[in-house]
Each structure stands twice: as structure tokens, then as C-alpha cells.
Amino acid sequence: MLRVFNHYIPSSILWLILIEFAVLFASVYLGVEVRFSEPFGEPVDKMLIEPIMPKALSFMFAMWFSMTAMGLHTRNIVNDFAGMMIRIFLSFGIGFVGNTLLFYMAPELFLGRGVFIITMFIAFFGILITRTFFQKINNNELFRRRILVVGAGKKAKIIEKLEEQARIRGQEIVGYVCVDSTVAYIDANKILKVKTTLLDLVREYDIDELVVAMTDRRQGFPAEQLMSCKMRGVFVRELLDFVERIKGNIELQVLHPSNMIFSSGFIKANRNKRIFDVVVSLSILVLTGPLFILTAALIWLSSFGTRPIFYKQLRIGLGGEEFFVRKFRSMIVNAEKDGGAQFAKKNDARVTFIGRIIRKTRIDELPQLLNVLKGEMSFVGPRPERPEFVKEFIKEIPHYELRHVVKPGISGWAQICYPYGENIEDTKHKLEYDLYYIKNYSLFLDLTILFQTVQVVVFGQGAR
């Protein structure tokens, strides 16, 4: 895996993106050649659409944006062939519309109808072939990284449970080394014996990386041997770092204050984030203006004007400050009159007919853009929770208060990586993703979440 602007991206995905860039770019040139060759036309006509390069670049980026928005560059999509095919069809539909709008806004980028249609067909089959080939080779040794775990106790057991997930990410756990006197929790067949030195074992098994997962470093910590391996080009990493790369979150059970204190992450957001929030929020408000008005009208008409259109609820924001979040009303009035604050459940009887539609499509979230413009929220960040829940979570979940060091968001890393939470355990797992976001914040990660939010909305992931 490579770290791009603090965010871990599998090297296989980066290679895939680069290859797809080349396929999309070349499709334009090939489309031009096909269109202006016999029997489609005369070669001299090609001069009418030159220069081709800026048009090829605009087509390439427009298609790449639509593919990313449909989730074709997420961690798990390469292992779901059926889901990948559906997303390819949808992304090319969106790409067709996007390129058409681009031609109207910038006529100098227009390829011509014939060239554009031929280019779309070539690009579609090019991407299809690329993805099929990538599907075949992604699970072999091409992108595999061989890893040896130093430790065989409780902490090493965490890695053993992630072996299959690590393999999918291109990380092969070769074995475990017991270097202290703690009880081994690992299958004995996976434990490797150090006959001479750790470095010799590394060379014998062609190890690329060592992950230190010792239960107690005060006993038998092999500092000199680890240093010897590191000096010879072998990466040595912490357990927390390994889990972060594989799962895309920060495992609470291995998180210690020192990990956060000495981490290179947890960088304070700058004014660029505020500019990002305002630009994105205003753009979405403009684009969804008619939908905003239509939704308000439907909610008003469904209750014959007897119930409020908007719903206002107290939430916890930056620094633990309270603020009112705004949503389109999707539940009956006084939905919690019998039981106080409670999570929304699947097929919740309190949700209205219109509410089911707008919650599934996330339209009910649109008024929160006003919270963003006011500066109470960001577009990307941890979801704001209710004060009643926060008090309970702080008691039950370690480090929960860290969510409040950044502004809450409409979308976030936890929302696109984990389904809707309806209990303490779900909230704990979502916190692990929120901490990953806070630790690795960058504008690049915000843009990644923005694009992936589109596919969450399109496929209705995690809605209640």
C-alpha cells in the first residue's frame, strides 16, 4: 500500500487508475481514427476537431470522476465482479451525461457526435477488458507483500483474524515469531522458529515487512535484531499502523495515548477546508434547488399543511458545543414521545411514506447544507450525535470525546465504510473510522469521501 496525502491506498488500485487513465485517453484518439477512416468518412475531415489532446484529457477526467463516484476505485470493488459490472454500466451512463454537459459549457472540447459515440464504445470495452484482466491478476503474487509478525500473543491474534482481509489488500502474512515468554494465542503451525537471527529468517522467507505485535515490550523486545532488519531495507511497522492500512480505521483495543501524541497525523484543518465546505455546499444547493422545493412541497401536501416541513434537533458539535441540526421531516410528529431518544431502526414504523423515500436517497439531509454554510458543520466529518447519546457513549467507549476535536459532517469516512449504527457496538466501530479520518485528514481524503458519497446515495447504502 502507498500513503497518498496521509491516506492509505492499495498499490493495486493506484496501478488500476493509471491504466484506466491510459485506456480512456487512448479511446479518444482511437475513436477519431475509426470515425475518419473508410467507410465512415474522409481522413482530411479529422482536421475539423483538432487539437485532440485537450479533448482527450477532458473526456478522460470526466469518465474517471464518474467511475470514482460509482465506487469503482474503492478497496473492495475488485472482489465483487457482479457489483463491478453494474457500476461500470452506471458510470458510463453518468459519464455520457457529464461529457454532454461539458460540451455545452465548453464547445471547444466537443468531439463531434460520431467520434463521441465511437469513443464511448471503445472506452467501455477497454475498461471492461481492463477490469476483467485486473480481476484475474489481483489475487496472484503480482501485488503481494510478504509480512512477518513479531509476536504471538493477544495482540498478534488481532492480525490473525485479519489474515483474509489482508490477503485481499495484497498483504500476505507469512508467519509469526514468538520473541517473549507470553502465552501464544496463534495456531502453532503458523509460528516460525528463529534458528539463528531474525534477519536470517527474514531472508529465508523473503520478507518485505515486519509488524511488531508484542503483548508486552518490556520483556524480550528484540531491538537490535529489528534494527538490523531495518538497516537492510526491511520495513518495520507498529500493529496500529498495520490495522489502519488493512481496515481503513483505528482499532480501539490497540490504541494508546502515545500513538496519538507521537503520530504524524491529527493535523488541524486549515482555511482550505472551510473554502471546500462552502463551495461544495453552495454547488449542491444550486444543483438540487428544484429537488429541495419539490421535497418541501410533498411533505407539506402529505400532511395537508398541518405538520412542519423541517425537523430541528439538538446535536453535539466542535468542542462539545450544542447546535440545532436541520433535516426534512421524515418521521411522524412526536416520534419519541413514548421512549425518549432512540436510534432509527430498519423498517422503523415511525418513518412516513415520503420519509422512507427521502431517507433512502439521503434527500432528508439536504437542509444540513445550511448548517455547513453557517459554520456549525463541515461537509465531511464525523456524524453529529445527540447529547443524550453522547453522554452514554463517553462512559462506554474509550476516546469517544476525540470525535469533537473537528466539526461534525454531513458525510464522512465512517458513513461510507460502515452501515447505519443502531447500538453501542456499532457506534464503537464507527468511532474507529472517525478516528482514522481525524488522524489522516487532508483535502485529498475529503474529496475521496465526497466522490464515494455519490455511490452511497445511488445504492442506498446504510440508510434507515
Asked if residue 254 belongs to a domain, the reply is no
Q: pLDDT above 70 covers what percent of the chain? A: 83
**Stretch 414-419: mean pLDDT, rounded?**
82
Last residue of a domain, one of 119, 137, 155: 137
- Do residue 173 and residue 317 come from a single domain? no
**Is 60 buried (19+), middle (13-18) or exposed (0-12) by CB count in 10 A?**
buried
The answer to whether the pTM exceeds 0.75 is no
**pLDDT score of 126:** 94
pLDDT over 60 at 341, yes or no: no
Do 296 and 219 reside in the same domain of the chain?
no
* Cα–Cα distance for residue pair 128/116, rounded to 1 Å: 18
Q: In the predicted model, what is the mean pLDDT of the chain?
A: 82
Higher pLDDT, 326 or 76: 326
Confidence bin at 85 (pLDDT 50/70/90):
confident
> Within 10 A of 129 (CB to CB), how many other CB atoms are there?
11
**How many C-beta neighbours within 10 Å does residue 51 have?**
8
Using a 10 angstrom Cβ sphere, with 0-12 exposed, 13-18 middle and 19 or more buried, the burial of residue 55 is buried
Dihedral sign for Cα atoms in the order 316, 318, 319, 323: negative
**Residue 349 gets which letter from DSSP?**
T
State residue 6's pLDDT score: 63
pLDDT value for 262: 62
Alpha helices in 248-386 (DSSP H): 257-261, 271-287, 289-302, 353-360, 368-374
Task: For residue 433, report the phi and psi dihedrals to the nearest 5 degrees.
Answer: -75, -35
Torsion on CA atoms 363, 366, 367, 372, rounded to nearest 10: 150
* pLDDT for position 384: 92
Does 263 fall in a domain? no
Q: How confident is the model at residue 378 (pLDDT cuts 50, 70, 90)?
A: very high
pLDDT over 90 (residue 144): no
In a domain, 256, yes or no: no
Residue 428 lies in a domain: yes
- The cell for 179 is 520473541
Please list the residues that pair with 8 across neighbouring strands: 3
Residue 320 and residue 238 share a domain: no
Percent of the residues in the chain that have a pLDDT greater than 90, as a whole number: 23
Residue pLDDT, tens place only, 240-282: 888 888 888 888 877 776 666 666 666 666 778 889 999 989 9
- Answer yes or no: is 54 within a domain: yes
Q: With bands split at pLDDT 50, 70 and 90, how would you rate the model's confidence at 382?
A: very high
Residues 301, 438 share a domain: yes
Task: Tell me, yes or no, whether 165 and 51 share the same domain.
Answer: no
Q: Are residue 91 and residue 151 in the same domain, yes or no?
A: no
Q: Residue 463 domain-assigned?
A: no
DSSP β-ladder status, 171-177 and 145-150: parallel
Among 208, 233, 248, give the residue marking a domain's end.
248
Q: Which domain holds residue 56?
A: 2-137
Look at 8-22, 149-163, 422-436 and tell me which has the smallest mean pLDDT. Answer: 8-22
- In this prediction, residue 127 carries a pLDDT of 93
In a domain, 321, yes or no: yes
Which residues are paired to 314 by β-bridges?
A: 324
192 in the same domain as 47: no
What are residue 325's phi and psi, to 5 degrees?
-90, 145
Position 3 confidence tier, pLDDT thresholds 50, 70, 90: low
- Count up the domains in the chain and report the number: 3
Q: Report if residue 38 sits inside a domain.
A: yes
SS3 readout for 94-136: HHHHHHHHHHHHCHHHCCCHHHHHHHHHHHHHHHHHHHHHHHH
In whole angstroms, what is the distance from residue 454 CA to residue 416 CA?
A: 10
The answer on pLDDT for 25 being more than 90 is: yes
Both 303 and 204 in one domain: the answer is no
Residues 130, 150, single domain; the answer is: no
Separation CA 213–CA 210 (nearest Å): 9
| Same domain as 33, residue 71 | yes
Q: Are residues 224 and 292 in the same domain?
A: no
Q: Per-residue confidence at 22, pLDDT binned at 50, 70, 90?
A: very high
Q: Is the pLDDT of residue 8 over 70?
A: no
Please report which confidence band the pLDDT of residue 457 belongs to, taking 50, 70 and 90 as the band edges.
confident
Confidence of residue 48 (pLDDT cuts 50, 70, 90): low
One domain for residues 184 and 127: no
Task: Kindly provide the b/e burial profile for residues 421-456, where b requires at least 16 CB atoms within 10 angstroms of the residue's own CB.
Answer: beeeeebbbbbbbbbbbbbbbbeebbebbbbbbbbb
Domain containing 199 — which CATH number?
A: 3.40.50.720
Q: Which of 87, 105, 137 is the last residue of a domain?
A: 137
Give the model's pLDDT for residue 232. 85
- Residue 422 pLDDT > 80: no
